[in-house]
Amino acid sequence: MPPSPTTARIACASPPFVEQATATELDDWLAYFEPDLVVLTGEAASPRAASVLRRHVGPKTAFFQPTGNAPTSGPRTINGVQFVFAPTTGALSEIAEHERDELATDVPTYVLSGLLGLEVDTTTLSTSLVGREEYRRRLEPERLAGEYVHVSTRLPAEYRRDWGDLAVVGGGAEAGSADTPLVALDCRTDGRVLARTLQPTRLGLRALDGVGRTRARRLREAGFADREDVAGADSSALAEVQGLGRTTAERIRRSARAVAHGEVVRESDQPLPRGDPVYIDIETDGLTPTITWLIGVLDGASDGGEYRSFLQTDPDEPERAIEEFMAWYTTTASHRPIVAYNGWNFDFNVLHDHVIEHCPHYEDEWTSTYRFDPYRWAVNEGNAVLPGRTNTLEDVAAALGYERTETGLTGAAVARAYQGWMADRSPATEPDWERFDAYCEDDVRALAAVYEALEASGRIVSTDEPSRDVRETTTQGSLSDW
């Protein structure tokens, strides 16, 4: 597998978020994203927000506010990725000179500015890029030899569009304000920009189950400054906080233990399935898939189990991966539960539809399988508190100490690549199959790590009654049991 692209991460935050967040929440935000560069977004300068951020951003992390006083300007290499800070149009005029003397042209350069905005015509339902003409006039892109990606802090994080010879990306204009998600942009040396998001409500004490702004404030006023304080508190002490009560206090304490200590906290006696799981993860051509082109299977433990994949590179044979997986499962593992994270919202339903559509001779075998979804069991059914800042597989596995393989991919990026391959099967669009398979393997090993943590938790912790071991067995079920 070729080496993964180098990545530099930008954490984007709007002034309202910075000004309203507590010091703990700001530190939590930075610890979650671990950025190489912090950017203060929006159209207007905010000296207060800039001052606050500078106090929280570490000395090894770059900082840029394009609208501030005397902002950084010119080229910088951050974690192996080329950037040009362009707080003014004058800085754009200097890029050609930088390209001659300082910038390599065989890798992309990311131009960071607050110079491009968006205007929406509600009558014609059309958009225009504000500042585009002046931007191009100063930049003179026809003079440049390298590839450039233009990131503007006045555009929303989800914005992506090519305006002629300008590849424009949103820099999170409203990130974190009015509960808009915070965003981090992974700028890669292959020219792609991947976004990660986090709701502000998942920071500090508000990351705990049942804690909003008011309860977070009351907890701080009672002396519980952070999640570690809550995790180590007695339920009786928490119950004295205004508006909590014993039951709510215990629920909050369990949530704090899970997040602060990176562990699963069991909340019921409900057992896990009997038998050795078969962990699976699928890759498709999108959220309304027409093909399941990769099924990754882990047989055994997260750190030593055998991984196998059922891969179909030819979109004209949508049945092959399904057929090969079902042939393997029915002959070697039919007595074992199939485990997929959030499976009842995606994997299981997609496989069910595609088995019936492409391999109806396996319908009876498929519908009689025992399928288990750790997300549904823990979160929706309330059997355990997971330790992630969010309940995504990536966050939960990371909180448990699982270290992902760096493939530089996301599920959405993988799906888009296969869509491109379906539309144009040429050498230029062919996916890196080995890297995609490694991404799928990483997901099933992360899933196994989460399942193993659920098994290891095995005991209910309560201040009201003794702990009870719940590692008992259960009989297998079928689809109708759900």
Question: Is residue 476 predicted with pLDDT exceeding 70?
Answer: no
**Residues 20 and 57 reside in one and the same domain:** yes
Q: Per-residue pLDDT averaged across 248-258, rounded?
A: 92
- What's the rounded Cα separation, in Å, for the pair 458 and 264? 9
The phi and psi torsions of 151 (rounded to 5 degrees) equal -105, 120
**Residues 129 and 146 reside in one and the same domain:** yes
Whichever domain contains 179, its CATH number is: 3.60.21
Q: Per-residue pLDDT averaged across 184-195, rounded?
A: 92
Q: What is the pLDDT of residue 2?
A: 61
Q: What is the pLDDT of residue 373?
A: 97
- What's the rounded Cα separation, in Å, for the pair 208 and 394? 18
Question: Is residue 450 predicted with pLDDT exceeding 90?
Answer: yes
Domain span at residue 220 reads 204-261
Number of domains in the chain: 3
pTM higher than the cut 0.85: no
As given in the structure block, the two tokens for residue 98 are 């930088």
- What's the rounded Cα separation, in Å, for the pair 230 and 137? 56
Q: Is residue 267 part of a domain?
A: no
As given in the structure block, the two tokens for residue 290 are 């027409």
Cβ–Cβ < 8 Å for 476, 278: no
Cα–Cα–Cα angle for 82, 84, 85, nearest 5°?
A: 135
**Residues 317 and 419 reside in one and the same domain:** yes
Nearest to 15 by CA among 37, 36, 35, 41: 41
CA distances from 63 to 22, 35, 275 (A): 20, 10, 52
Confidence at 478, pLDDT banded by 50, 70, 90: very low
Q: What is the pLDDT of residue 58?
A: 84
Cβ–Cβ < 8 Å for 146, 104: yes
Q: Is residue 268 part of a domain?
A: no
Whichever domain contains 245, its CATH number is: 1.10.150.20
- What's the rounded Cα separation, in Å, for the pair 73 and 65? 10
Residue carrying structure tokens 């003079």: 143
As given in the structure block, the two tokens for residue 347 are 């994997």
CA distances from 36 to 59, 137, 346, 410 (A): 10, 31, 34, 20
As given in the structure block, the two tokens for residue 73 are 């300007």
Cβ–Cβ < 8 Å for 310, 297: yes
**Residues 283 and 333 reside in one and the same domain:** yes
Q: What is the pLDDT of residue 142?
A: 93
CB burial readout 247-256, b (16+ within 10 A) else e: ebbbbbbbbb
As given in the structure block, the two tokens for residue 150 are 């233009």
Q: Is residue 410 part of a domain?
A: yes
Higher pLDDT, 278 or 466: 278
**Residues 239 and 180 reside in one and the same domain:** no
Q: Is residue 442 part of a domain?
A: yes
Nearest to 460 by CA among 271, 261, 268, 272: 268
**Residues 58 and 183 reside in one and the same domain:** yes
**Residues 47 and 187 reside in one and the same domain:** yes
Q: What is the pLDDT of residues 264-282, one digit of tens each?
A: 999 888 999 989 999 999 9
Cβ–Cβ < 8 Å for 291, 276: no
Q: Is residue 269 part of a domain?
A: no
As given in the structure block, the two tokens for residue 468 are 């009870």
**Residues 215 and 73 reside in one and the same domain:** no
**Residues 345 and 246 reside in one and the same domain:** no
Question: Is residue 171 predicted with pLDDT exceeding 90?
Answer: yes
Higher pLDDT, 179 or 376: 376
Contacts of 248 (CB under 8 A, 6+ apart): 210, 239
Nearest to 231 by CA among 245, 213, 252: 252
Confidence at 45, pLDDT banded by 50, 70, 90: confident
Q: Dihedral sign, CA of 280, 285, 287, 288?
A: negative
Confidence at 461, pLDDT banded by 50, 70, 90: very low
Angle between helices 433-457 and 411-423 (to 10 degrees): 150
**Residues 191 and 46 reside in one and the same domain:** yes
At residue 136, the 3 state secondary structure works out as helix
**Residues 382 and 470 reside in one and the same domain:** yes
Whichever domain contains 445, its CATH number is: 3.30.420
Q: Per-residue pLDDT averaged across 63-84, rounded?
A: 92
Q: Which helix (H) or strand (E) holds 293?
A: strand 292-299
As given in the structure block, the two tokens for residue 292 are 């399941």
Average pLDDT of the chain?
Answer: 90
Question: Is residue 464 predicted with pLDDT exceeding 60?
Answer: no
Give all strands of the β-sheet with 160-163 in edge-to-edge order: 74-78, 81-85, 109-113, 148-152, 166-170, 160-163
**Residues 442 and 379 reside in one and the same domain:** yes
CA 122 to the chain's CA centroid: 32
Measured from the Cβ of residue 390, the count of other Cβ atoms closer than 10 Å reads 16
Q: Is residue 271 part of a domain?
A: no
Higher pLDDT, 208 or 1: 208
As given in the structure block, the two tokens for residue 415 are 């799906």
Confidence at 459, pLDDT banded by 50, 70, 90: low
Cα–Cα–Cα angle for 44, 174, 119, nearest 5°?
A: 75
Q: What is the pLDDT of residues 306-346, one digit of tens each?
A: 999 999 999 999 999 999 999 999 999 999 999 999 999 99
The phi and psi torsions of 32 (rounded to 5 degrees) equal -70, -50
Q: Dihedral sign, CA of 129, 135, 136, 141?
A: negative
Confidence at 69, pLDDT banded by 50, 70, 90: confident
- What's the rounded Cα separation, in Å, for the pair 209 and 137? 52
Question: Is residue 473 predicted with pLDDT exceeding 70?
Answer: no
Q: Per-residue pLDDT averaged across 218-244, rounded?
A: 91
Cα–Cα–Cα angle for 88, 92, 94, nearest 5°?
A: 115
Q: What is the pLDDT of residue 440?
A: 96
Residue carrying structure tokens 């491009």: 116
Confidence at 71, pLDDT banded by 50, 70, 90: confident
Question: Is residue 470 predicted with pLDDT exceeding 50?
Answer: no
Nearest to 282 by CA among 302, 299, 304, 298: 298
Cα–Cα–Cα angle for 456, 329, 293, nearest 5°?
A: 100
